[in-house]
Structure 1
Amino acid sequence: MRNKILPGMAEATRLTRAGRLGEALTVIQRVVRGEDSPAPSPTQPGSPPAPLRPVRQIAKPQVVEPPPAASPGARPAPAAGLADGLPGLPEGLRDLVREIGRRVGPLVGEPATPASTEPGQFLDRHFAAAAGQRAYKLYVPRGYRGQAVPLVVMLHGCTQNPDDFAAGTGMNRIAEAETFLVAYPAQTAAANHARCWNWFSTADQRRDRGEAAIIAGIARAVMEEFSIDSRRVYVAGLSAGGAAAANLAAAYPDLFAAVGIHSGLCAGAASDLPSALRAMREGAKGAVPVGDALPTIVFHGDQDSTVHPRNGAAIIAATGATLLRDESGTSPNGRAWRRSILADERGRPRFEHWVIQGSGHAWSGGDAAGSYTDPLGPDASREMWRFFREHPRPRR
């Protein structure tokens, strides 16, 4: 077999460099079948490449960042498919097939699609309803093909925006690997000069009112446009976004299955700006009845001087949960952490409280490409997704 493989590889390589890709693929297929390779055919300088099938164009929706990718529903790029469809192919020839696939996907009648390392789509969207309107960004991973997938709504902190928050949390990378959609509502300077979500305003805390209604409306708009598993819709946020996420979890337990709160406060912890500043400085209990609290995961740095760590403990206390066990460890980058796992009244583990030692007001394990991140800590984004994955909304 080796006596056939080596000449076959040399011949396929020569044909590829000459632009005769169809003939190169034929040589590779013959080698895999154990057939003798045809005698090398001379290549005249400047001779035209073998004719190829016409490229079928794929319409792509507008994307902003990162670069455009294939539209949802497009089949995988043939670069991988050709090689994977030839079992037993030696690695050298497998690489050559991938190169041919990248250069001429239409050889096997497949659509021209990007290489598998390219990311999904980051789309611009806009929502408007009686409660108000907001822009939002939506990440759609390449693996989405119209099947029912989870949705995570991510609420940025003050002075941030969707692009900054996506870069800092790295949630899009996880969505790409795990195949779920991520929506990033954008607060406006007109609504809050620092672009904070108005978590402390009673007009924006409750169901069907203000910003709570707008964000819930964005989640429902995504559910209408895409195929979303209604039992796997989640909300998470940082700082003001974390407090807003707590308000949403209390107001819409029929929409969201679980909530992630990073450096945030209890639902209804404040009712105006003075009480908000006091709650951030001293810690505050929630004024909104929690009832049967949604599964909740909390992250907070113990050196947070913007939102006191007592607020993280207050979020968990408001659930009425019972401690099951405490754990501790150190992140790969050196931050020590403590995790408390707590149960509801039925004894089910439904709450987690992470305290990151030495960390301030920042997303634990975040990317320095975004603001308010602590790359040294454990990965809050991955832990939140792990927690969300474990807690779909119960079937009725």
Structure 2
Amino acid sequence: MKRNAVTCSRTGLLLLAVLTLTAAAPARAGTWVHGIEGTRGFQLWVPTGYQADTPLPLVVALHGCFQNPSQFAGLSRLNEKADAEKFLVLYPNQATFANPTQCWNFMLVLNQTRGHGEPALVVGMVEQVKRHYAVDARRIYVGGVSSGAVLTGTLLACYSDVFAAGMIGAGAMYKAATTISGTGFAMLFGSIYHPDDRGRDAWVCSGRPRHTVPVLVVHGTKDSVVDIVNGRQATRQFLQTSDYGDDGVANDSIRPVATQVTRATVPGGRAYTVEDYVYGGSLVARHIEIQGMDHAWPGGDSRYPFADPSGPDGTSIMWDFFRQHTRN
């Protein structure tokens, strides 16, 4: 019995190793690849036309609560965009044992620092993908919706040496709350912390870098889950982070004042306002407010929850912003 048990154990370990290698190995183009990093799984979309000798941009896409990678991919149509524009998409998956609603635990202090918790797991996934696929390390981006958007803010804050730009969709600023009870208040009324203070905290979390942190913030004016003030706080917070990163001090070299404001309307759909913050010839931040939109992904596929088909195409907006930025 002991011998059989040992044999079974060894067989199980061998099978696990084979599965892990299969998950990490390059697959044919235009398909899903599944992998594991620590205690979390992930899905990678390898676009049609992928060539192992041609480095591609990588977009990390973070789903929201009550979602998984496949659902977020369907909602956003991000894989279709990846096929058309030629980039890889990494979808980390929140485990139900970590949060029964599959929300990212952005409010826990462990997950608000560099080298720990969920942010470190996501960066570990990025490194795993880089080891097995042709990734342009200068063009790695991160974007998310809802709790995934707040985790995006943490990744931008604490790993600005990894990500060239990010998108916060229906989310909040870095360390908007540091407790579960504080999170409820922040989502409904905005953070009690000043965005300028959190802007400095974000700069410090990445080791006081000397570069800006480009951010796109998209929010609906009728968001009933995460009040619109959170989007405004996130924009100001990252502008302050970039003000520090620009020259090492907070001296308004990058100011929280839009340099250009445009308004547009989706034919037969929603109106929206775009505020651009351009400094030194670079688009440092873009803040978009969509009139009448609730807690949703704009332009999303209506077959999935949290879609607002009448909004502008959030996926195109995100990619258009990302491709303007390359990390030096």
- Flag whether TM exceeds 0.5 (same fold): yes
- Within the candidate set 257, 263, 267, 1:332 is matched to 267
Identity %: 37
Are 1:242 and 1:262, in contact at CA under 8 Å, matched by a contact in 2?
yes
Note the residue ranges of structure 1 that are not aligned, 5 or more in a row.
Answer: 1-60, 64-69, 73-119
Residue equivalent to 2:8: none
Residue equivalent to 2:223: 304
Q: Secondary structure at the match of 2:258?
A: strand
Q: How many residues align?
A: 276
Structure 1 residue 324: Cα displacement: 0.8
Residue deviations 1:132-166, cap 9 Å, x none? Answer: x2111110011111110000000000110001100
Are 1:235 and 1:245, in contact at CA under 8 Å, matched by a contact in 2?
yes
Residue equivalent to 1:384: 318
Runs of 4+ with deviation above 4 angstroms: none
Q: TM-score, normalised by structure 1?
A: 0.67
- Within the candidate set 358, 375, 386, 2:292 is matched to 358
Q: Secondary structure at the match of 1:390?
A: coil
CA 1:314 to 1:347, structure 2 compared with 1: closer, same or farther past 3 Å? farther
Residue equivalent to 2:67: 160
Task: For 1:368 and 1:135, locate their aligned partners in 2 and report how far apart those are by CA, in whole Å.
Answer: 26
Structure 1 residue 348: Cα displacement: 2.5
Alignment of 1:341 onto 2:279? no
- Within the candidate set 35, 40, 50, 1:125 is matched to 35
Residue equivalent to 1:15: none
Residue equivalent to 1:372: 306
Answer with 1 or 2: which has the greater Rg: 1
| Counterpart residue identity of residue 226, structure 1 | Y
Task: For 1:151 and 1:313, locate their aligned partners in 2 and report how far apart those are by CA, in whole Å.
Answer: 27
Cα-Cα RMSD: 1.7
Alignment of 1:314 onto 2:233? yes
CA 1:244 to 1:293, structure 2 compared with 1: closer, same or farther past 3 Å? farther
| Counterpart residue identity of residue 211, structure 1 | E
The 5 Å alignment of 1:1-396 reads: 71-72=28-29, 120-128=30-38, 133-146=39-52, 147-284=54-191, 285-286=194-195, 287=198, 289-291=201-203, 292-318=211-237, 319-320=239-240, 321=255, 322-344=257-279, 346=280, 348-394=282-328
Structure 1 residue 343: Cα displacement: 2.5
Q: TM-score, normalised by structure 2?
A: 0.81
Are 1:332 and 1:378, in contact at CA under 8 Å, matched by a contact in 2?
no
Are 2:106 and 2:151, in contact at CA under 8 Å, matched by a contact in 1?
yes
Task: For 2:58 and 2:266, locate their aligned partners in 1 and report how far apart those are by CA, in whole Å.
Answer: 27
Structure 1 residue 323: Cα displacement: 1.3
Structure 1 residue 335: Cα displacement: 0.5
The structure with the largest helix share of the pair is: 2
Task: For 1:376 and 1:368, locate their aligned partners in 2 and report how far apart those are by CA, in whole Å.
Answer: 10
Are 2:158 and 2:202, in contact at CA under 8 Å, matched by a contact in 1?
no
Structure 1 residue 293: Cα displacement: 4.3
Are 2:164 and 2:214, in contact at CA under 8 Å, matched by a contact in 1?
yes
Are 2:212 and 2:284, in contact at CA under 8 Å, matched by a contact in 1?
no
Q: Secondary structure at the match of 2:91?
A: strand
Q: Secondary structure at the match of 2:323?
A: helix
| Counterpart residue identity of residue 259, structure 2 | L
